[in-house]
Structure 1
Amino acid sequence: MNSTLNLLIGLAMGLNLLALASGRLPSVIRAVAVQGMVLGVLPLLSEGHAHWLVWLVAAGTVVVKGFVIPNLLTRAMRAANIDREIEPFLGFVPSLLLGAAGTIAAVAGARALPLLPQHADTLLVPGALATVLTGLLLLIGRSKAILQVCGYLMLENGVYLFGLLLIESTPLLVESGILLDLTVGVFVIGIIVDRIQREFDTLDTRKLTVLRE
């Protein structure tokens, strides 16, 4: 079971690097969608018994992260008529190098943590740390609002992975709360993105510096 779990988390970590290296919005949105679906099935592998609540939250996570939110982002991208990040705050190569270095540091640092035996042989902690770092890099390093939303989603995916460490003591309570917060947060961000598009006819967040009271 751990081998399958580690394989899926390794795939999610690889998608982190893909998102950092790509300037094409459709590619990043697809990477976030696939990562969301991959992480959505992890509770089914972590739980020793298939409780109905596990299946419910797993299905909800896959649907929301894999289809609903990416579809909203794709519609926003088409409405804004943009498909590429041209001038990021942090270049793609430096972002990729920082992400790779952070992933290596996360794997090495996780070994020094006093984890429970059932977690010591998994990539839950390093995967969570690496995904949180990737989300922060996208939030800070990209100028397009849609890519910053993708960074927020990846940051949440990292928190979601951390929550799986508590799945036995608080069965999916953390994941359910995170999924609800994510849904609300994305709709709020969607409203903000729409306002930026209407006001400036672009999704470049650097335009926000010209706002005045």
Structure 2
Amino acid sequence: MSPDLLIALVMLTNFTLVATSRINKAIQVAVAQGVILGLMPLAMGLGRHVHILAMAAAAIAVKGWFIPFLLRRALRHVKIHREVDPFIGYTASLLLCAAGTGLSLVLAHNLPLKPGATPAFLVPAALATLFTGFLLLVSRRKALTQVVGYLVLENGIYLFALLLVEDMPVLVETGILLDLFVGVFVMGIVINHIRTAFDSTDTRHLAELKD
């Protein structure tokens, strides 16, 4: 499979994530994005390296199964299915995502990268994915949707890591995945506290939580 096709799919998932109000669909799209990114090293012809194969398999397992399992379990407990009233509306979010993608293309064009070393749109896709994750984090009220934003943000970091994937020690990516685990677990605790105290997962209630 062509890496350019996978990059195009990543960009498509970014737009889908900011346009959907259904939390379960957002989780499904984030899963699809994680699996696509796990396949990216193989599409780039790096499958000859054992440590890269191990990294790709770990990324697919963590992003495509384990973390989504935790999120779906949390979704069943909170019984909230839609992001009803985000800080930034869905039309505005789409426009911001489009603007961020365009800006990513401009910024990537001005970065001093080695010609021909990576797929042409890898860096713009990484920047756009980072921006999309940040947009979800700051524009959504529900804690679960913000966790999805955190996952997307990490996906952008993962894309950047592919620039040096042949020289990057496995420990670097392992550290990123561990940070992702910690972030998801912390957000799970926060979700539980909000739901217990307020019967809601709206993060506006965080200001009212006491020890």
**TM-score of the pair, normalised by structure 1:** 0.92
Shift of 1:48: 3.9
The unaligned stretches of length 5 or more in structure 2 are none
Which residue is 1:28 aligned to? Answer: 26
The SS at the match of 2:73 is helix
8 Å contact from structure 1 (residues 111, 120) kept in 2: no
8 Å contact from structure 1 (residues 47, 168) kept in 2: no
- Mean Cα deviation higher: 62-71 or 120-129: 120-129
Shift of 1:189: 1.7
Paired residue for 2:49, among 23, 28, 51? 51
Which residue is 1:68 aligned to? Answer: 66
8 Å contact from structure 2 (residues 118, 163) kept in 1: no
Which residue is 2:100 aligned to? Answer: 102
8 Å contact from structure 2 (residues 154, 180) kept in 1: yes
The SS at the match of 1:117 is coil
Which residue is 1:40 aligned to? Answer: 38
Q: Where do 4+ consecutive residues of structure 1 move more than 6 Å? A: none
- Mean Cα deviation higher: 141-150 or 168-177: 168-177
The SS at the match of 2:179 is helix
The unaligned stretches of length 5 or more in structure 1 are none
The SS at the match of 2:116 is helix
Over residues 99-135 of structure 1, what are the superposed CA-to-partner deviations in whole Å (9 max), with x where a residue is unaligned?
0111122123312222112346421110110001000
Q: 2:12, 2:50 → 1: CA distance?
A: 30
8 Å contact from structure 1 (residues 164, 175) kept in 2: no
Q: How many residues align?
A: 211
Which residue is 1:189 aligned to? Answer: 187
Q: 2:37, 2:97 → 1: CA distance?
A: 19
Give the AA of the match of 1:25. Answer: I
Over residues 27-73 of structure 1, what are the superposed CA-to-partner deviations in whole Å (9 max), with x where a residue is unaligned?
11111000000001112233545222222111111111011111211
The SS at the match of 1:87 is coil
**TM-score of the pair, normalised by structure 2:** 0.93
What do you get for the CA RMSD once the two structures are aligned? 1.7
Which residue is 1:163 aligned to? Answer: 161
Q: 2:97, 2:177 → 1: CA distance?
A: 25
Percent pairwise identity:
49
- Mean Cα deviation higher: 23-32 or 40-49: 40-49
8 Å contact from structure 1 (residues 110, 126) kept in 2: yes
